């Protein structure tokens, strides 16, 4: 039997699972956002997702930093720099984007090596000096490349004005997806 939720037509919006109240951060805590719960959730179907947890990095887990190398930006252990998790995070990002191609937006956790969007410090290879204070995490960067028109919002941008703009962009993205939908055959 179908329930009303089975026909929920609200746009699908991904959210860093920690912002949805899941205790998945590196320190085993959450970053629950009341603003998201009160001002965004009623208008969207939220899809909590933590790339680091899905990548099997554990909860809690040793912290990871982004570093600049000759091969590009890598996600490596802060206290164990030989522990490179870049490829795992990228694989998870690809699997997520393949599973949800009609995503209408994503709310990201700032300063995260996976989810930060122009807010994550990028260090030198020795992790002693910040080379770029506005790097993007592996997952966030993949979302931006795979879905250039996807509305993205960080937890630090949750103001009334930015939320209203984000919701309008999400609705527009949903309209674009609906216009591309193939009608059911008769």
Beta strand extents in 71-175 (DSSP E only): 72-77, 105-108, 120-123, 130-135, 152-154
Contact status, residue 111 vs residue 119, Cβ threshold 8 Å: yes
- Within-domain flag for 48: yes
- Within-domain flag for 55: yes
Average pLDDT over residues 150-159: 97
Q: Is 130 exposed, middle or buried (0-12, 13-18, 19+ CB in 10 A)?
A: middle
- Within-domain flag for 137: yes
Tokens of 11: 């746009």
- Within-domain flag for 111: yes
* Residue 150, domain extent: 10-174
Total of domains in the chain: 1
- Within-domain flag for 180: no
Q: What is the pLDDT of residue 48?
A: 98
- Within-domain flag for 183: no
Express each pLDDT in 168-183 by its tens digit.
Answer: 999 999 999 988 875 5
């Amino acid at each position: 039997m179908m329930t009303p939720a089975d026909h929920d037509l609200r746009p699908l919006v991904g959210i860093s699972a920690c912002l949805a109240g899941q205790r998945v951060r590196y320190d085993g805590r959450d970053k629950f956002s009341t603003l998201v719960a009160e001002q965004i959730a009623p208008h969207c179907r939220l899809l909590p997702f933590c790339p680091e947890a899905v990548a099997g990095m554990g909860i809690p887990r040793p912290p990871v930093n982004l570093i600049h190398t000759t091969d590009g930006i890598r996600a490596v252990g802060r206290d164990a720099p030989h522990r490179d998790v870049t490829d795992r995070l990228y694989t998870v990002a690809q699997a997520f984007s393949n599973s949800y191609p009609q995503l209408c937006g994503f709310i990201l956790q700032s300063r995260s090596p996976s989810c930060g969007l122009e807010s994550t410090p990028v260090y030198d290879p020795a992790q002693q000096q910040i080379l770029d204070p506005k790097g993007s995490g592996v997952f966030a960067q993949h979302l931006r490349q795979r879905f250039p028109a996807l509305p993205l919002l960080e937890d630090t941008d949750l103001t009334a004005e930015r939320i209203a703009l984000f919701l309008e962009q999400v609705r527009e993205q949903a309209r674009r997806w609906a216009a591309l939908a193939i009608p059911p055959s008769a």
